[in-house]
């Protein structure tokens, strides 16, 4: 598999079975294609994660619900997981595109912010720091699980969410 910089618009058009002109009719360049894919993927992910989410529940219940949904989304959408994993660190991901794609995910910060206000978490950490730590931890576990061909079960998903919760709580 090639990286973004090694792929040409002609190769993208051929893989999509369309002409190069069609690509340029809808996108400025290949970076724009990837950015728009990122937005589309995050919209799909968000729709899955936030279905039936009740933000008025306890912080712990919301934490469990949201991270369980993240994990289950990535289990069911392995290609999207790898795309997200690699694109998150890409220089092609601009602040503007990131803000558009991630707007729904601010609910994580709101939930964790409530926990900070309630004194549930270790002192001195912001909601954003807690989200980034938890996401990185869970993301690493998913990646490791895929590399190890580990079967995801309700038990190990719950165990990992418990470990993530225990790592940030007082």
Is this prediction's pTM over 0.85? yes
Domain assignment present for residue 4? The answer is no
User: CB under 8 Å to 141, separation ≥6 — which residues?
Assistant: 160
Give how far the C-alpha of residue 45 lies from the chain's centroid of Cα atoms, to the nearest Å. Answer: 7
What is d(CA 58, CA 51) in angstroms, rounded to the nearest whole number?
A: 17
What is d(CA 113, CA 101) in angstroms, rounded to the nearest whole number?
A: 21
Which residue range forms the structural domain that includes residue 63? 31-168
Reading phi first (left if > 0) and then psi (alpha if -120 to 50, else beta), residue 18 is in: beta
141, two tokens: 């576990």
Work out how many domains the chain is built from and give that number.
1
Q: What is the CATH number of the domain that holds 118?
A: 1.10.357.10
What is d(CA 51, CA 66) in angstroms, rounded to the nearest whole number?
A: 10
**Per-residue tens of pLDDT for the chain, all 170 residues:** 667 778 899 999 999 999 999 999 999 998 999 899 999 999 999 999 999 999 999 999 999 999 999 999 999 999 999 988 888 888 888 999 989 999 999 999 999 999 999 999 999 999 999 999 999 999 999 999 999 999 999 999 999 999 999 999 99
Question: What local confidence, expressed as pLDDT, does residue 91 receive?
Answer: 87
Question: What local confidence, expressed as pLDDT, does residue 85 receive?
Answer: 87
Domain assignment present for residue 125? The answer is yes
What φ, ψ does residue 161 adopt, rounded to 5°? -65, -40
| Cβ–Cβ < 8 Å for 88, 45 | no
| Cβ–Cβ < 8 Å for 72, 52 | no
What is d(CA 67, CA 49) in angstroms, rounded to the nearest whole number?
A: 8
Domain assignment present for residue 40? The answer is yes
User: CB under 8 Å to 143, separation ≥6 — which residues?
Assistant: 85
87, two tokens: 């694109």
Question: What local confidence, expressed as pLDDT, does residue 88 receive?
Answer: 85
Question: What local confidence, expressed as pLDDT, does residue 1 receive?
Answer: 62
138: helix, strand or coil: helix
């Amino acid at each position: 598999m090639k990286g973004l910089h090694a792929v040409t618009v002609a190769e993208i058009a051929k893989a999509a079975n369309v002409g190069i002109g069609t690509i340029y009719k809808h996108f400025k360049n290949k970076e724009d294609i990837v950015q728009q894919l990122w937005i589309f993927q995050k919209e799909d992910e968000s729709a899955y994660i936030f279905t039936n989410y009740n933000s008025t529940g306890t912080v712990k219940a919301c934490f469990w619900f949201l991270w369980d949904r993240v994990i289950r989304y990535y289990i069911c959408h392995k290609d999207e997981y790898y795309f997200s994993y690699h694109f998150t660190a890409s220089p092609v991901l601009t602040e503007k595109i990131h803000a558009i794609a991630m707007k729904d995910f601010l609910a994580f910060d709101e939930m964790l912010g409530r926990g900070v206000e309630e004194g549930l978490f270790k002192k001195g950490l912001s909601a954003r720091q807690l989200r980034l730590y938890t996401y990185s931890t869970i993301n690493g576990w998913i990646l490791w699980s895929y590399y190890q061909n580990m079967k995801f079960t309700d038990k190990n998903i719950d165990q990992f969410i418990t470990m993530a919760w225990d790592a940030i709580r007082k």
